[in-house]
Chains A and B, each alone.
Chain A
Amino acid sequence: MAEEVKLFRNWSSPYGLRVLWALKLKGIEYEEVLEDLSNKSPLLLQYNPVYKKIPVLVHNEKPICESVLILEYLDETWKQNPLLPEDPYQRAKARFWAKFSDEKILPTIRFVALTKQGKEQEEAILSIIESLKYLEEELKGKKFFGGETIGLADLALGWIAYYMDVLEEVIGIKVIDQEKFPLLVAWIQEFSNIPVIKKSWPPRDKLYDRYVGFRRAALGEETPK
């Protein structure tokens, strides 16, 4: 039976991007459906009725939602270029860092540092720096979070290699620097040099405008007229 794989995503989301990376790294043929999140397609709403979000992977008409779960599904269904190691303890560690990215770092920068100011923003930045210190520690003796080759944790944290720079510019605060985070900076370079990754990033100026828009909208609501 021919495998039919569809990826519903949008142009900017880091969550959608990681699924794209996994598909390309595993050489899986797929059809891409780019969604306009201000005008979601009936198909998206049908495939993800609970969250109504991208990414959604549809494999032979069966939808799988939530980016990290999609990565696990891809890894279990297509065995080439594995994203997770065999050893259960190493798998647990990879899942831990993926969770850390999505529950700690990404929300703090996207929903606090980007959209607040003053003390709240300061605390968010400090929290992000603390989190990055743990990543720096984890990279000791390793080229990637996955070891010699990239894995699930690298894909989950991969947004840092491109989006962080844009966010830093919008917020006006440099967080990742060579001096404080030499291993992380090296990882960013190695990760970004991977051909599949290099070719995939969304246009920087468009992303910058998008984040400026989020910040303005958030602060505009809070600033009294």
Chain B
Amino acid sequence: MAEIKLLGLWASPYDRRVLWALKLKGIPYEYVEEDLSNKSPLLLQYNPVHQKIPVLVHGGKPICESVIILEYLDETWPENPLLPSDPYERAVARFWVKFIEDKCSSAWLVFRTSGEEQEKAVKDSLEMLKTIEEHALGEKKYFGGDKIGMVDIACGAIVHWLEVIEEVVGIKILEPHKFPRLHAWTKNFEEAPIIKDNLPDRDQMLVYFKQAREKSLASA
């Protein structure tokens, strides 16, 4: 089998999504940690357009953008599918993945800003969570039903990072009583066998993001 490389950053949720998918599908890979302040020639060669991680390289061919990588993995290794087989159900799953992509920038803004700007970002984040709570989850254990799927992976990365952001900025956003379904889902997801063993170190994350926030506010 052609070799697989994942170019990533341990503290990136987008990178983490791909890692979870690789582990869930039991796909062996080599991990290459990137330093984004000093991008490797490999990264620039494989992702000239965006110069961002994650990049999956399969047999020398690069695939960029975490959601596109997830689709690629699902099509190339169909076991333990991340998407349902029915076209309509697939469209619904992809819709929620896109929704999370479109709206999760508000979580990053909570982290990067302060004052009025941050207040707006908190408000937007709450809206995003509210929509997911009311429309996306239903009574299922996971977005994917009984098994973890693409929406769980996409959402899980953002929610897990949101927990860190909440602690760094001192604002609770995903409150259990406000978002009971999402809260229950978060517990199920983070305790699921493969996910549990592949979460980033919480203390390291807090140090990393505290520093990043300071830098962000200083350059604002």
CB B49 to nearest CB in A, in angstroms, measures: 5
**Residue A113 at the chain B interface, CB threshold 8 Å:** no
The answer to whether B36 has its CB under 8 Å from any CB of chain A is no
**CB within 8 Å: A-B pair count:** 56
- List, in ascending order, chain B residues with CB within 8 A of A160's CB: none
Min Cβ gap A61→B in Å is 11
B151 at interface (Cβ–Cβ under 8 A)? no
Contact of B88 among A59, A66, A89, A92 (CB under 8 A): A59
The reply on B173 being an interface residue by CB < 8 A is no
Shortest Cβ distance from A28 into chain B, in angstroms? Answer: 13
Interface size class of B (residues with CB under 8 A): 20 to 34
User: Which residues of chain B are within 8 angstroms of A99 by Cβ–Cβ distance?
Assistant: 65, 68
Contact A88 B131 (CB under 8 A): no
Residues of A within 8 A of B68 (CB): 92, 95-96, 99
27 contacts between A and B (CB under 8 A): A49-B135, A50-B95, A50-B99, A62-B88, A64-B88, A64-B95, A66-B94, A66-B95, A66-B98, A69-B95, A69-B98, A72-B94, A73-B87, A76-B90, A77-B87, A89-B61, A91-B75, A92-B63, A92-B68, A92-B71, A95-B68, A95-B71, A96-B63, A96-B65, A99-B65, A100-B49, A134-B48
Which residues of B pack against A, CB within 8 Å? 48-49, 58, 61, 63-65, 68-69, 71-72, 75-76, 87-88, 90-91, 94-95, 98-99, 131, 135
Interfacial residues, chain A to chain B (CB-CB below 8 A): 49-50, 59, 62, 64-66, 69-70, 72-73, 76-77, 88-89, 91-92, 95-96, 99-100, 134
